[in-house]
């Protein structure tokens, strides 16, 4: 599956689109686009014109089901789109817990919660969003989680681990992507 998508990207046939849902800064979209391009050597386009789907919050927390965004994004179509990454300004929840983001292997949609990654240090905040976006996108391409903590495909268990992990694919994951 990885080879199929890599073929399309390397031959300029498709794009990864990044869209903002709600109040997400354009600078953040551009930072994520740069990180995706650096890691996967793909062309990235961005848009901030997409409106939020009807949001249903949890009664005890202001959280939105991640499936609401993934389902909504499956209905979005852009020219030559192979993947879409949504940066949302709401907290996300799956069936069990609050999550930073979600990408499904073989799926075309990835969603990342911006508020859950926020911190007072803007550089750290931007890096968190970029790392989570790249990791979730990599998973959608079929790249497995990595055991190396310096790899962006490593699955951190805390924000502290996320802050300590690398911003790029390790050599093994890069090889998996290219080959």
Please report the domains of the chain, with CATH numbers, ordered by start residue. Answer: 2-145 (3.40.390.10)
Token representation of residue 144? 């497995």
Token representation of residue 89? 């300004």
b/e sequence 79-101, b meaning 16+ C-beta within 10 Å = eeebbbbbbbebbbbeeeeebbb
Residue 60: pLDDT band by 50, 70, 90 thresholds? very low
Token representation of residue 26? 């354009």
Query: What is the spatial distance between Cα 50 and Cα 78, in angstroms, rounded to a whole number?
Result: 11
Q: How large is the average pLDDT for residues 64-69?
A: 86
> Quick one: pLDDT at residue 76?
85
Select from 48, 90, 49 the least CA-distant residue to 69: 90
> Quick one: pLDDT at residue 1?
45
> Quick one: pLDDT at residue 3?
40
pLDDT > 90: percent of the chain: 55
**Contact between residue 76 and residue 19 where contact means Cβ atoms under 8 Å apart:** yes
Q: How large is the average pLDDT for residues 54-65?
A: 60
pTM: 0.88
Better-predicted residue by pLDDT, 105 or 141: 141
**Contact between residue 35 and residue 130 where contact means Cβ atoms under 8 Å apart:** yes
H or E stretch covering 110: strand 109-113
């Amino acid at each position: 599956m990885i080879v199929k998508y890599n073929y399309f990207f390397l031959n300029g046939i498709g794009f990864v689109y990044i869209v903002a849902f709600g109040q997400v800064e354009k600078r953040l979209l551009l930072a994520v686009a740069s990180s995706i391009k650096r890691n996967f050597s793909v062309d990235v386009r961005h848009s901030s014109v997409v409106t939020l789907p009807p949001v249903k919050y949890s009664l005890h927390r202001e959280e939105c089901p991640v499936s609401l965004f993934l389902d909504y994004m499956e209905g979005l179509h852009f020219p030559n789109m192979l993947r879409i990454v949504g940066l949302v300004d709401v907290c996300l929840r799956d069936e069990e817990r609050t999550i930073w983001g979600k990408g499904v292997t073989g799926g075309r949609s990835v969603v990342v919660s911006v508020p859950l990654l926020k911190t007072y240090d803007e550089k750290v905040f931007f890096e968190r969003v970029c790392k989570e976006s790249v990791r979730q996108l990599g998973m959608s391409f079929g790249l497995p989680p990595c055991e190396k903590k310096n790899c962006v495909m490593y699955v951190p268990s805390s924000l502290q681990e996320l802050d300590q992990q690398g911003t790029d694919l390790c050599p093994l994951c890069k090889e998996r992507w290219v080959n």
